[in-house]
Structure 1
């Protein structure tokens, strides 16, 4: 489907605005939680670090340990989680995240012990790993609660807008009040996916994008749009990236829109 140049430019401007606004909450939340964890652990001084290290070495110790845990989480989210979700489901993807977090943090702690104190004896590795696991679980729990709260307090998928109201009126009566999860162009028609089902209506994709511009969401492809609240995970299937939405909807992701999706934090869901 060919879209008018003006509409394409307008959508491009909206995407840039979305990118600027969404780099935001998820990343800032992670930074805040990591900084809080580092400050708390520096003050508390687990592993005897408070008794044996002065403030600055202790701060460096826990900054690297927490940073290593976040690095493990990032690698898991980028490369492992989509595969786990696809094969075992979202819960397994979330639970298994603690493994790379603990392993990466533990590897860093071993190096830090060698630098700041002395090597951990082989017989004490299991005990040290257990303590690292407890700390990793605590930080991961706080981060998960923060992300859930962030998603729960996001603006609802129904901001008042005359264009949106007119767009909804084109839907069957049973779908007009349902949350819009995705929109796809199909020749000279538009398929609208909602929380109560989907429907095919007449219209241009560019007009649909104009109607939903007040909703929290993003283009994922030249002919697809997805709502923030419906996204469950970003997956890679047969070499192609796609979003998994509530209700089993699968939305393709093109290279041109991948940066927008990562900026919204959709690649960290699941």
Structure 2
């Protein structure tokens, strides 16, 4: 898979993360609302008092944020279902564009209602609403497209598009078939495999990338390669392990040569000990 894509099933991380909202989003919104209230753009400075401007811009930003979070969650879930049904990933613009348009429609409706109540404009006509929609779309696109793309990146479901690499000579007979699937830019020093929904993240000494494959199928293709599954979501190469940490609850964590830490589940711990990794 060499295109920016959204995973073809619901994400492992929660769609709503209140702690992130309180620590990052809400402080930024509060600061932005304060600046807009002080500047009073779009005639709000003349028509509203300072408390009124704070309420106006703060309310608009809070409504837009909640609308964005709700529509974003529906968009990601819908993309996951569609991708699972089609058997291949949905390109990320297919999520970002509809989410932006729907969020903008909700914000346009909210602005029209508030402005009409304040007696600051008539948006009853279709033409007036269309004009307002375009004005709002400019702002909505700026504050929605990049954050949504960053949201997808933070969840590990978005991988930047890359040029199609030139063909590389086939792996010599006797090496596992899976090595053919590693993108050439990552080299051949395989460290670990990590399951991310329908995708598989390949970790090598040169970096990591996603391919569309199940972990169990990859492990089957690595038959004979020195390594083993240590968790339902991880496979680790034997030579990649440089240390072992034991948590307070007794569970093990493998430290790899690239600094990555991989948890060992209780189910796979006996096999890891038997292999002499601990």
| TM-score of the pair, normalised by structure 1 | 0.49
Q: Which has the larger share of helix?
A: 1
| TM-score of the pair, normalised by structure 2 | 0.47
Structure whose alpha-carbon radius of gyration is higher: 2
Pick 1 or 2: higher relative contact order, CA cutoff 8 A, min separation 6. Answer: 1
